Structure 1
Amino acid sequence: MPPVLNTRVIFKSIPQGYPVPGQTLAADHSQKIDLDNVSLAGGKILAKTLSISIDPYLRGKMNGTEKMSFEIGHPHAVAKVIRSENPKFKVGDHIYGIMDWAEYQIFENVPELRILPPNSGIPWSVFPGKTAYYAWQEVAQGKEGETIYVSTAAGAVGSVVVQLAKQAGLKVIASAGHESKLQFLRDLGADVVFNYKTESMENVLKDHEPIDIYWDHVGGKTTSTVLMHMNTFGRVVVIGQISTYNVAEADAVSNFPQILFRRLTVRGLGVIDHEAKHGDEFYATIPGMIARGELKYNETIVRSLDEAPQLFLDVQKGDNSGKAVIVLADD
């Protein structure tokens, strides 16, 4: 078999404000790979990428604000092993981990890859979805009768949190920035749904305070507003800060003393910190719930890396619905 095209997405320049498709990220068609003969010496594996998750936090890596440098990409992705010189991985295994934006890739650091369970009954694009589950278990610790407010609730993480909270018996307040997303949140069972762009967050929260848990994807002015309506000993789960990613000077949290006055617990969560503790539990629980229809999901899917730069911009502007994912192959 002759060498095949290995399309990639490359990071070309640090954006000033929102990323610009073609200038910040661009598809590259210059690389080919010989799938039959490329060397895998030293225990390497060769895999075909199936799906790539485009998450808001990747924008922070472009600014150098994340722990890892951005370089060529490093999103979370699912791939299928097509050749292996490592006894841990066999041809046909589906693997999940931090990968490049590329159709084919060779892995050397295989300990960081997880073999996904076969026959899960859900599309590979749905994996992994760990952020919501880990943070719910580790930080939120919601109790029946409490009230949670989930910002950007129609996204990949927020939509799962809404459902986990309802299943645990909490009152759920959920917001989104597009009218088209509000019905999705109602379908998930959210008790109070509002468009934060057209309705007063201050008034909504005042009507339903005190808030026991704030699930924060936004930061800035939104967090400042929510802190004023938190219950004593409430929890703030910090997952993202989308309001800060694409601006030169982000709004700071203006009423930080409320954390003291209300004795709040504020904690950020990184998935990698809880993989050892909750990983096996997650894979034994969540895929089955999705397959049985106990957890609903929504996806915005594109099917080529040429469309990735625009999808990345859509995620930053909130123009996608649910999880944004590049699906290069179904299996």
Structure 2
Amino acid sequence: MKRILITGGAGFVGSHLCERLLNEGNEVICLDNYFTGRKSKIVHLMDNPFFEVIRHDVTMPYFIEVDEIYNLACPASPIHYQQNPIKTIKTSVLGAINMLGLAKRTGAKILQASTSEIYGDPELHPQPEHYWGHVNPIGIRSCYDEGKRCAESLFVNYHESNDVRVKIIRIFNTYGPKMEPDDGRVVSNFILQALQNKDITIFGDGMQTRSFQYVSDLVEGMIRMMNTTDDFIGPVNIGNPTEFTMLELAKNIIQLTQSKSNLVYMPLPEDDPSQRQPDIRLAKEKLNGWEPQIDLQEGLKKTISYFKEIISEN
């Protein structure tokens, strides 16, 4: 049994990770300040004697004895991370410093949940890990993009200067049950609009692309990365390489929900990437052949069922 700390453990991805690691027989400590996390996502785990929940902000130091740390704490959707951009940068940078300090003191292995956003609006497609990115450092999205880029730098430097055992993954668009209805992500937006027969909002011409991975595939990749040997630190792309346009996604969801929604077009937000697709060859090589197992149709059906329950409860 390992003692595992998950920052942002009451969030969308964090709550799935808590559940998986508990089911594997570990002791899990969930740390969250509930800025975007929700206690409702983890309440079903609270009867487990090996699960602990702590309200804490990672911008402040935290002291505990653990074997592993998954550093997930940070708002991850534009609507949330742009709400308080200074807080977002502090969470990424100070949170990384505090958790790396904890890992250094305890000898714990620590994984950084970085993001495909560090590639910005990419000029190289698909995006391999050696690509440095094309990011506007003062744009509306920079609080998240640059915060995560700085966190990666901190992880590498703590590893090289202090021998901290670090792992870095870059997460591409992820969806599934436990997403927040108001998080502004395209999958949740489209599903909710379709289920309520409202107009589906397409930003730009709808030809920008994304690659969508189901949350269980991400969690599997995270755990495999944590279990790699200490000499491999990453970064590693974790995402689904199958690419879809926003129009394809919208039409797919309309069909699956049998919705009467119409498509409406709105101006494209500032610095919105035109394309995003992971090169996952390194993940396949280093993570025991990891690759996504849930295709978009199957994943959307599960996510639609979840949001149907959310709507019926309200």
TM-score by length of 2: 0.36
**Larger of the two Rg values belongs to structure:** 1
Identify the structure with the greater strand proportion: 1
Structure ranking higher in helix proportion? 2
Greater relative contact order structure (CA < 8 Å, 6+ sep): 1
TM-score by length of 1: 0.34
